[in-house]
Amino acid sequence: MSSRRSRSRQSGGGSSTISDDQIADLVSKLQQLIPELHSRRSDKVSASKVLQETCNYIRNLHREVDDLSDRLSELLASTDANSAQAAIIRSLLM
C-alpha cells in the first residue's frame, strides 16, 4: 500500500476518489472485528487474508442464523408463544 495513487479503481461514476489510506484504515478495522484475526494484532495480515476471513466469518454468521431459526422453530412449536416471549423479554432486558 505504498503507492500514493488516489485514482478511483472502480468506474464509480463521478464519485469521490478513493485513497489507499482510507481502504487500509477500513481493512484494519475489519481485522479487529474478526475473531480469527483479532489475536494476531499485527499489521502484517494481508488485505486478501482479511477479506478471506471476513467472507468466512459472514458465511458462518449466516449459517448460525439459519441453524438458530431451525432450533427456534422447533422450540416455539406450540401456539402458546406469547407467554414464553414475555418471560424471555423480561429476562433478557433485565
Partner 1 sequence: MCNPSGNQLDNVSRRNSARMLKQEFLKKWIMGLQICSASKKEMSILERKKAIKLSADLAMASTKNGTTNWSLALISNASKENDNKTLVDQMLGNHHSEKISTKRPSIVSIFRNKRVATCRGKKILKKRGGIRRAKKMASSATSIAKRLVKKRTQVLKRLVPGGEYMDELNLMEETLDYILSLRAQVDVMRHFANATPKFES
Binding site for partner 1 (CB under 8 A): 8-13, 15, 18, 22-23, 26-27, 29-30, 33-34, 46-48, 51-52, 54-55, 57-59, 61-62, 64-66, 68-82, 84-85, 88-89, 91-93
Nearest C-alpha neighbor of 29 from the set 18, 15, 43: 43
CB of 40 to partner 1, least distance (A): 15
CB of 44 to partner 1, least distance (A): 14
